[in-house]
Structure 1
Amino acid sequence: MGLKSALSKPFAAIAVWQINKWKNNAVGAQNKILKKLIEAAKETAFGKDHSFTKIKNYTDFKKQVSVRDYEGLKPYIDRVVAGEEDVLWKGKPLYFAKTSGTTSGVKYIPLSKESMPEHIKAARNAILTYINETGKADFVNGKMIFLQGSPTLTLKHGINVGRLSGIVAHHVPAYLQKNRLPSYETNCIEDWEQKVDAIVDETIKEDMTLISGIPPWVQMYFDKLSEKSGGKKIAEIFKNFSLFIYGGVNFEPYRAKIEQSIGKKIDSIETYPASEGFIAYQDSQKDKGLLLLANAGIFYEFIPTDEYYNENPTRLSLGEIKLDTNYALILNTNAGLWGYSIGDTIKFVSKNPYKIIVTGRIKHFISAFGEHVIGEEVEHALLSVANDERIEITEFTVAPQVSPKEGLPYHEWFIEFSTAPKDLIAFSKKVDEALQKKNIYYFDLIEGSILQPLIIRTLQKDAFVNYMKSEGKLGGQNKVPRLSNDRKLADELEKYIV
């Protein structure tokens, strides 16, 4: 056992002891955070506009602060971006995390000197809880790779701007820097395909023990490694590779192909980081629930998804939630986001401790006919059948076809298969039946002959990669939406149909 792995175990034990202190009283931790946030921001422009000095509890807070998305908060953010101080949070942000918005164009998410350390601590603790639970620490002696955006930053009115993953690269602890790949120069390559090629060249002969990234882009890295090595499995190339850390998308649609590429079962840790805050991570190999970080500078609110578009939806604090209910996630952060709808939907799978799974995006659904099908439902329907029949999926998305040339409307599925079904019609029928079982409204529409059963379009190899490249969204934190309620993505994908 190396020195780093030996030292990591007592370090991990201390970290878990600290985590358990708030984990066992998460509601109390949340109440304290709300008070701290209100106190810290009461003299800001937002705090004055929303009478923070009058807020004594969560009930008062809901009266003063409405729920809003980026567009709703944009007038304040524009002032921050222009260089004004004390607008949403005290002083100026440390960074702006630059993200792509569908309606807002480029979004600038503030990161403060209080919020930035929480991102780093959460990423560190995800690994330390794994070490503490499993006793496995040898991987810290090998090389680690974090597939991420460029760390190159630009200045905007004196504030550094970049992608979150690139910003985080500047805060990797010194004791990990010697183990970390790729090199800074390679990380700065903007073209994703060139970057992955360079990463392959740098890492193929190294002792890689930990690999981290968004699953579809990790798969691209694995494919290029295998190609360069003459078809070897990843486990043959990296004999000590033992831990995969991922986030950003649901892993299940990618699991079969990634595990096949690796060539052996390895442990994995799911994380839930966002530019707005590090929200949760998997703290146990014994279950897939993600521990909600109730003591990380964020006060959470939850709106039942079926009320989200109501004029006055129900807003709940952590102590009021129910299990197995879909909620839209609302954040109030120590970087100055208030009543902020992040756009994700989650479901609690445990209250002791509070653990969640991510179920989709509030705007990624299909309800062209009132069915309100969500990401969790389409993923379950497809994967339950694909796994039974040993069909491998590379990527997929679903859109409504409201005005077909003939026949009833239907849900159109665009799927890139790694291993295609022998009988696509039979496969489609089983997937449709599985979706009907998950969504009663969809079942009623099929039964009532309002919709015909779903239709699958098989796409060419690398269809989604080529589409993302054409949109300038290849790699980094970019993801293909599982569901669209319009035809914009579907129409673009039609050119890739086999």
Structure 2
Amino acid sequence: MSIKGLAAKVFARYIHQKNQKWIQNPVAAQDQVFKDLLQKASTTQFGIDHKFDTVLTHEDFVNQVPVRDYEGLKCYVDQVVKGEENILWPGKPLYFAKTSGTTSGAKYIPLTKESMPYHIEAARNAILNYIHETGKTDFVDGKMIFLQGSPELTEKNGIKLGRLSGIVAHFVPNYLQKNRLPSWETNCIEDWETKVDAIVEETYHQNMTVISGIPSWVQMYFEKLKDKAQQPVGDLFKNFNLFIYGGVNYEPYRAKFENLIGRKVDSIELFPASEGFFAYQDSQKEKGMLLLLNSGIFYEFIKADEFFTENPKRLTIKEVEVGVNYVLIISTNAGLWAYNIGDTIAFTSTKPYRVVVTGRIKHYISAFGEHVIGKEVETALQNALSGTNISVNEFTVAPQINPISGLPYHEWLIEFDHEPEDLEAFAQKIDLEMRQQNVYYDDLIKGHVLRTIVITKVTKNGFQDYMKSIGKLGGQNKLPRLSNDRKIADWFHNI
């Protein structure tokens, strides 16, 4: 073991022991975060408007601070963007993470001197936790690549702004800089396809041991590597043994990745967002990611099937149950208050608190009252693929309410890597799995309200072409797994 590996192992043990204090006392940890956030923000404009000085309990907080999304908080954020101080959090943010919005155009998510360290520590601790659990350290001596957005930042009223992954690139510790790829110049390339080509050239002859990024974009990188090398990625990078990912469920990609790599590699799942770093995979044996309860974020949870009712109950960590689909609500040391980030999660464990991301509250299909969510379509496809040689690059699902003939149906647009010999039989298999996943969907099929799913084949790189057409190719952008409208589906039918 190298000196670097030995040091990593010692540090990993220290961090593991330190984290046990809040892991073993989760409710107390969240109570303390709650008190700290309110106390520090009590003299801000938001704190004064919502009488933080009178909030003593979670019930008080619920009564005085309604759940908001970006649109609901925008009047405050706009003041911060103008350069005003002490609006959502004391002082000014260090950065804005700029993301694409829906109705509001660009979204500016604040990152403060208090919140920024937690983004860095969480990513670091995920790797250290892996080292502590497995004892594996060889990868620290090789090259590591993080497929991310450009680190070039602009400025708005004295506050730097850019993509979250680009901002984080400025905080890579010195001891990792020598091992880190791609180069700064390559990372600054805006066009994603050009960037991936440059990354391939830079990494082709390197000793790559860790590769990180959103699976759909890492897949593009792997495919280009395999084409160039005419061998599996795992043969080209013989010491590559750790894949770190976040943003989307890896399971639909796993078989494809193992084919591209040529063997299995360990993986670590992360749950980062511009609004905060919420969880990371803390065990190679247990399902789910450890929810970070001591990281400047106070969590609330609303049952997804109650979210659109008039007064849905806001739960704290001590009130959640395993297996229930919740909308995640956060209050943070970046000045987001009772903020709906749009993600839905479910707990796989409460000792410790581990979660899986189940989808987006806005990304669902309920054209007929079925309320199908992302996790259900991903699980149905994964189960249908099991035991077959069929593989899928990418997919999305949309409702077809007004077919030319016959009953309405769910249309699955799938880009296959290896197609099924019998497309109709494969569609039937997915449909049966969907009926297992969602009882309302099953009732609609039984009641002859819907017919079984219809698969539309998407040509190779079709989804990349779609993302490029809407200006969201690469970076942290993700294709929605499902939509309650036909915008994506119609794009493919109209090209």
TM-score (norm 2): 0.99
Paired letter, 2:294:
N
Aligned to 2:164: 164
Show CA shifts across 1:279-335 (max 9, x none): 000011112310000000000000000111112101000001011000000010000
Aligned to 1:264: 263
Aligned to 2:435: 436
Offset of 1:495 from its aligned partner? Answer: 4.4
Aligned to 1:448: 447
Offset of 1:29 from its aligned partner? Answer: 0.2
Structure 1: state its 5+ residue gaps. none
Matched residues in 2 for 1:11 and 1:380: separation? 37
Matched residues in 2 for 1:482 and 1:403: separation? 21
Paired letter, 1:157:
N
Say yes or no: does 1:466 pair with 2:465.
yes
Paired letter, 1:207:
N
Q: Please state whether the residue corresponding to 1:303 is helix, strand or coil.
A: strand
Show CA shifts across 1:164-220 (max 9, x none): 000000000111011100110100000001100111111100111000000010010
**Bigger mean CA deviation after superposition, 180-189 or 432-441:** 432-441
Aligned to 1:346: 345
Paired letter, 2:45:
A
Aligned to 2:334: 335
Offset of 1:461 from its aligned partner? Answer: 0.6
Matched residues in 2 for 1:141 and 1:177: separation? 12
Matched residues in 2 for 1:331 and 1:390: separation? 42
Matched residues in 1 for 2:332 and 2:408: separation? 43
Offset of 1:388 from its aligned partner? Answer: 2.7
Matched residues in 1 for 2:399 and 2:266: separation? 37
Aligned to 2:119: 119
Q: Please state whether the residue corresponding to 2:473 is helix, strand or coil.
A: coil
Paired letter, 1:213:
G
Show CA shifts across 1:142-171 (max 9, x none): 110000000000000000000000000000
Offset of 1:452 from its aligned partner? Answer: 1.0
Q: Please state whether the residue corresponding to 1:482 is helix, strand or coil.
A: coil
Aligned to 1:190: 190
Aligned to 2:40: 40
Paired letter, 1:456:
I
Aligned to 2:3: 3
Report the identity percentage.
63
Q: Please state whether the residue corresponding to 2:386 is helix, strand or coil.
A: helix
Matched residues in 1 for 2:386 and 2:466: separation? 26
Aligned to 1:19: 19
The number of aligned residues is 495
Q: Please state whether the residue corresponding to 1:271 is helix, strand or coil.
A: strand
Paired letter, 1:467:
Y
Show CA shifts across 1:327-367 (max 9, x none): 00001000000010000000001010000011000010000
Offset of 1:390 from its aligned partner? Answer: 2.7
- Structure 1's consecutive aligned runs of 4 or more residues displaced over 6 angstroms after TM superposition are none
Aligned to 1:485: 484
Q: Please state whether the residue corresponding to 1:280 is helix, strand or coil.
A: strand
Offset of 1:380 from its aligned partner? Answer: 1.1
Paired residues for 1:119-138 under 5 Å: 119-138=119-138
Say yes or no: does 1:367 pair with 2:369.
no
Instruction: Work out whether residues 287 and 348 of structure 2, in 8 Å CA contact, stay in contact via their aligned partners in 1.
Output: no
Matched residues in 2 for 1:275 and 1:200: separation? 27
Paired letter, 1:394:
N
Say yes or no: does 1:377 pair with 2:365.
no
Show CA shifts across 1:421-466 (max 9, x none): 1001111111111111111111111111111111010110111011
Matched residues in 2 for 1:103 and 1:317: separation? 30
Show CA shifts across 1:251-288 (max 9, x none): 01111111111111111100000000000000111123
Paired letter, 2:442:
F
Paired letter, 1:274:
A
Offset of 1:103 from its aligned partner? Answer: 2.1
Aligned to 1:390: 389
Instruction: Work out whether residues 99 and 107 of structure 2, in 8 Å CA contact, stay in contact via their aligned partners in 1.
Output: yes
Matched residues in 2 for 1:276 and 1:494: separation? 35
Instruction: Work out whether residues 282 and 289 of structure 2, in 8 Å CA contact, stay in contact via their aligned partners in 1.
Output: yes
Matched residues in 2 for 1:343 and 1:333: separation? 15
Say yes or no: does 1:74 pair with 2:74.
yes
Aligned to 2:231: 232
TM-score (norm 1): 0.99
Paired residues for 1:144-183 under 5 Å: 144-183=144-183
Paired letter, 1:443:
D
Paired letter, 1:36:
D
Show CA shifts across 1:89-115 (max 9, x none): 000000000111222211100000000
Q: Please state whether the residue corresponding to 2:328 is helix, strand or coil.
A: strand
Aligned to 1:425: 424
Offset of 1:59 from its aligned partner? Answer: 1.1
Q: Please state whether the residue corresponding to 2:472 is helix, strand or coil.
A: coil
**Bigger mean CA deviation after superposition, 458-467 or 96-105:** 96-105
Q: Please state whether the residue corresponding to 1:444 is helix, strand or coil.
A: helix
Matched residues in 1 for 2:396 and 2:387: separation? 20
Aligned to 2:412: 413
Paired letter, 2:26:
A
Say yes or no: does 1:247 pair with 2:246.
yes
Aligned to 1:87: 87
Q: Please state whether the residue corresponding to 2:464 is helix, strand or coil.
A: helix
Aligned to 1:141: 141
